[in-house]
Each structure stands twice: as structure tokens, then as C-alpha cells.
């Protein structure tokens, strides 16, 4: 189950990475159309503003079609092989899913016309009840359906992935074998997905009420709710399940609800982006409420706290290892500071010191709570310097971005002194303090990636011992046949930040941001 959830978390990161990039464009465009930032004369440059408006429209289109992006991403991420077929079938599954819901709604007499707020109020509903009832429905690619948002995409993607993995190699009788194998996947998808849609019609209202209830509990917890989120978001890092938690607050009522331009928007990230994309005068309080679970809680930790920890690890390293540790820490700090990718730094201590790991999780929770308490409003998902500038500084002083810097300075010294004390006091074997360095770990690798890949394959027990190879943002994820055949000393010659055995046949090799290049080289060598 853990491996499955890790794969799901990684699959969900595919559309999130697109959103992060689109969000940057959306943030820059919103800033360039804000007269308080660029001045009235810049706003009056009609042709330039038309071009900026077009960029906003493009970015907004991605956010408006997230459900189908999630459907395709989940199907690709969870399919074992023939991923293009899974992607093709996921589009069919998504359309069939919502067309089925649309047909059921029509049979029940529920249409787009009679579920508008005005129509419901004409039938005797109060404005509040009409808003709640109307918000249960939406149009997806022109199809009137239940408002399942990205969950609809995830459900259809999960269904297609399961069907694909079970049927993409099926053999049919000779007379109809043309429709066997991968051609059978879209066919069985068309048959099976309506059943899932029918079940969703009855299950989703209950699930929706549970989500809304969870959102109310988080909201009722106030500042403590943001602390809990930040703490859990870090404590789940080793399992990869923090992605699931993030998607919950970003795309469900747990992250809040808001009315933007007459439409109800759910989820912290979607509210923030919808407010950015709106040409109306959105009150800053909506931005602040939406950003409670977003980048603002990460900035003090990722840009300041973890670099402080890195400095402490460098200074406590043995003299003969400081050159190696310095190179590692500079690369890891650069990734955390600029992009919010923290695994290279975190994996250098979380598996060898529960005290430091717990301190890091608590500090992250405090960062989210204090940022919310101080009224900071910095959105997006990464938490590096780019988010600070685009979604904080560029949007003006009303975002209170300066509090992130104040908190950051405090966090830098807190991390530095706590890490230094704990490392020395408890003799924690952070990089450069290992009593038994792996022999050959200082070998200089050639620039030819194929030789690096062959070294990794050899260390994993050879080609015949490897079942699957994949990667996330920082880790090479491998499924093996026999863990006993692994030779860690050989793997370490490829200069990873560490090795994690996550199961009886599951192993992860941490390389940081360069992992995708290494993963492709390993896959090419295996072929």
C-alpha cells in the first residue's frame, strides 16, 4: 500500500509541476496588470496589456481544466507499461465518466438551467441554500456534471490505470484478436467507467459532506490547524505521502471555500489562483485565507532554516571531509533556496536523527502558523525565492512579505544552533561525520551518463534483478526481485546523497534534481 501511495503521490506531482509553472506566469501577469505595482501609465499601454491578458488567459485555462490533467497524470503514473495507451484511454474514461453523470442528472431532472442560483431562489430557496445547492454542479469541457473537481479526474484515472494494468496484454479469440492487447483497454474503459460513474453519483454527495466537514474542523482549529498541516507535511516526507496531504488542502474544502466572480471555488491553491486570474477587485482577506497552506509557510524553512542546518552540518564535518560536504551542501541549499526542493538536505539527517527530524517538523508547523498569524499572503506551491518575489514582493506590501524575511532570519539561527548542538552532543553522523565511509565513495565519475547508469545497475544486482525503474523529483525508485543482491558500495560510487530501503524489494537512491537524467540513462541501459 505504501508503494502504491508513493506512486500515486508522484503521479499527482505531474500536473502540480505544470500548475507551479503556470502559476508563476499568472502571478507575473497579475502583477503587471495591477496599477498599484506598475502604475497607471503602464496599465494604459493597450497593446502590451492585451498581450499580458492573453498570458493570463492561457494560465487560467490550465487551472480551469485540472480534472482532465489529473486523470491523464494518474493513468500514466500508475500504469506499468504501454503508458501512451493508458493516457489515451484516460481521456476516453474521463469523458465517459462525466457524460454518464450528465445523463443520470438529466434523468433525475437536474439541469444547468434549473440549478442556477436565480432558478433555485425562484423555487423558494434562500440565497445561502441556493448557493450551496448550485455549487454541487459544474460544467466540465462543456458537460454539465457533479462538481467533483480534481477528484473526478483522479477517480477516472485510477479506474483506467487498474483496467490498463489488467488488460493491456489480454489475448482474445483469433477471430476478434485484433481488438485484444492494448486496443482492448479503451474498449473495456468505455464499458466499465459508466459503472464507476453510477456509483459516484450516490457516493460523492456523502463524500462531499465529509470533505466539507473536515474543512470546517480545520477552520475551527484556526491557527492550530495551520500548525498541524505544516507538521504533518514534513513528518510524511520519508513516505512520500505528503503529496496526498498537499492535494487535499489545495483542491478540496479542507483548504477553504470562496466565491470568486460569482463562482464557488474550493481548495487553497484554486482559490488563490482564481483570485489572481480575476479582473475584479478581490479583497486581500481572500488571498490571506487561501494562502494559509501554501508557499508562505515554507519560505522561512526552505530559504533560511534548512540553509542554517546545512551550515551547521558543514561546520561539524571532519576536516578531511569538508570539501566533499561543502559541494553537497551548496547544491542542496541552492535547490531548497530557489525551487523549494528540500529532499537533498532533509535526507542528510532525517533518517539518522529522530531529534532533528522532529525539530524540523515542529519548526515547519510553526512557520505555517506564524505566517498565518502575521497575515502573510504568498501563494503557489514551491516555497523558494521565486515564489517570494512573484507572489509576495511583486504583489506589493499588502502581502506582508517582509514578515517572511523576519521569520526567516530567526529560523536560520534557530536551525543553525539546534543542529550544531544536537550533532555534537549526540554524535549524529551527518555527512562528513560517518565513522565508516563506504569504500570507493570518492571516485570521480566520468561525464558519460551511460557508465554511471551501468554502475547503478551493477550495484542493484544486475539487469535481471531489476523489475521497474522510476523517479520522483529527487529519488530514483527501483523495484527489485532480490534485495540480497544489492551492493551498496557499488551504488555509492555514483555519488548519491543516500540509499533508502523502503520495502522488501523496494529501494530508493537519492540524487537530487539531477535524478531524471540519471533515471533516463538507467532505463536506456536496461533497454
Nine-digit cell string for 321: 571531509
Q: What stretches of 381-514 show up as alpha helix (H) in DSSP?
A: 385-391, 402-425, 449-459, 488-491
Nine-digit cell string for 126: 434562500
**How far is residue 262 CA from its own chain's centroid?**
28
Cell 498569524 sits on residue? 373
Beta-carbon contacts of residue 309 (< 8 Å; ≥ 6 apart) = 345, 349, 356, 360, 415, 416, 419
Query: Using only C-alpha atoms, what is the Rg of the chain?
Result: 25
Nine-digit cell string for 283: 479583497
- For residue 149, CA distances in Å to 140, 267, 288 come to 9, 10, 23
253 annotated active-site: no
**How far is residue 14 CA from its own chain's centroid?**
8
Contact by Cβ (8 Å): 224, 368? no
Beta-strand pair 263-266/475-480: unpaired
- Residue 507 backbone phi and psi in degrees, to 5: -140, 145
Look at the alpha carbons of 434, 360, 290, 270 in this order and tell me if their dihedral is positive or negative.
positive
Nine-digit cell string for 475: 529519488
Nine-digit cell string for 526: 536496461
| Annotated active-site residue in 155, 328, 472, 492 | 472
- For residue 451, CA distances in Å to 171, 374, 510, 521, 522 come to 39, 52, 18, 9, 9
Q: Which residues are catalytically annotated?
A: 472
Amino acid at each position: 500500500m505504501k508503494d502504491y501511495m508513493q506512486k500515486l503521490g508522484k503521479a499527482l506531482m505531474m500536473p502540480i509541476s505544470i500548475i507551479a509553472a503556470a502559476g508563476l506566469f499568472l502571478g507575473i501577469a497579475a502583477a503587471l496588470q495591477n496599477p498599484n505595482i506598475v502604475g497607471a501609465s503602464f496599465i494604459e499601454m493597450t497593446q502590451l496589456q492585451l498581450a499580458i491578458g492573453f498570458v493570463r488567459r492561457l494560465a487560467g485555462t490550465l487551472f480551469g481544466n485540472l480534472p482532465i490533467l489529473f486523470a491523464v497524470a494518474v493513468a500514466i503514473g500508475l500504469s506499468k507499461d504501454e503508458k501512451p495507451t493508458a493516457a489515451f484511454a484516460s481521456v476516453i474514461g474521463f469523458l465517459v465518466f462525466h457524460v454518464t453523470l450528465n445523463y443520470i442528472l438529466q434523468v433525475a431532472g437536474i439541469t444547468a438551467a434549473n440549478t442556477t442560483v436565480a432558478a433555485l431562489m425562484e423555487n423558494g430557496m434562500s440565497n445561502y441554500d441556493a448557493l450551496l445547492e448550485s455549487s454541487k454542479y459544474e460544467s466540465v469541457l462543456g458537460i454539465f456534471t457533479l462538481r467533483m473537481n480534481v477528484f473526478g479526474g483522479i477517480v477516472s484515472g485510477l479506474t483506467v490505470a487498474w483496467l490498463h494494468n489488467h488488460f493491456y496484454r489480454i489475448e482474445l479469440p483469433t477471430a476478434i484478436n485484433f481488438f485484444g492487447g492494448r486496443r482492448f483497454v479503451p474498449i473495456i474503459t468505455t464499458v466499465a467507467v459508466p459503472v464507476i460513474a453510477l456509483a459516484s453519483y450516490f457516493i460523492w454527495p456523502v463524500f462531499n459532506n465529509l470533505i466539507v466537514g473536515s474543512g470546517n474542523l480545520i477552520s475551527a482549529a484556526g491557527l492550530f490547524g495551520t500548525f498541524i498541516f505544516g507538521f504533518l507535511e514534513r513528518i510524511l516526507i520519508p513516505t512520500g505521502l505528503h503529496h496526498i496531504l498537499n492535494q487535499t488542502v489545495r483542491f478540496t474544502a479542507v483548504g477553504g471555500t470562496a466565491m470568486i466572480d460569482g463562482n464557488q471555488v474550493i481548495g487553497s491553491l484554486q482559490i488563490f489562483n482564481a483570485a489572481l486570474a480575476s479582473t475584479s477587485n478581490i479583497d486581500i482577506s481572500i488571498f490571506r485565507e487561501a494562502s494559509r497552506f501554501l508557499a508562505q509557510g515554507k519560505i522561512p524553512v526552505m530559504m533560511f532554516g534548512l540553509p542554517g542546518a546545512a551550515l551547521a552540518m558543514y561546520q561539524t564535518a571532519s576536516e578531511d571531509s569538508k570539501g566533499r560536504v561543502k559541494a553537497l551542501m551548496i547544491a542542496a541549499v541552492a535547490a531548497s533556496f530557489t525551487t523549494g526542493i528540500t529532499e537533498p538536505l532533509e535526507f542528510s539527517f532525517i533518517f539518522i536523527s529522530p531529534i532533528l527530524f522532529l525539530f524540523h517538523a515542529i519548526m515547519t508547523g510553526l512557520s505555517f502558523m506564524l505566517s498565518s498569524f502575521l497575515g502573510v499572503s504568498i501563494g503557489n506551491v514551491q516555497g523558494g525565492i521565486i515564489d517570494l518575489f512573484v507572489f509576495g514582493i511583486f504583489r506589493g506590501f499588502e502581502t506582508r512579505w517582509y514578515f517572511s524575511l523576519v521569520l526567516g532570519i530567526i529560523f536560520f539561527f534557530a536551525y543553525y544552533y539546534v543542529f550544531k548542538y544536537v550533532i555534537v552532543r549526540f554524535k549524529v553522523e551527518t555527512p562528513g561525520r560517518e565513522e565508516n565511509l563506504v569504500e570507493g565513495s570518492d571516485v570521480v565519475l566520468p561525464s558519460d551518463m551511460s557508465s554511471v547508469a551501468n554502475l547503478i545497475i551493477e550495484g542493484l544486482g544486475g539487469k535481471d534483478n531489476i523489475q521497474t525503474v522510476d523517479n520522483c523529483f529527487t529519488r530514483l525508485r527501483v523495484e527489485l526481485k532480490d534485495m540480497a543482491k544489492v551492493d551498496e558500495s557499488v551504488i555509492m560510487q555514483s555519488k548519491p546523497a543516500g540509499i533508502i530501503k523502503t520495502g522488501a524489494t523496494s529501494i530508493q537512491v537519492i540524487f537530487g534534481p539531477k535524478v531524471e537524467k540519471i533515471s533516463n540513462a538507467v532505463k536506456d541501459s536496461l533497454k
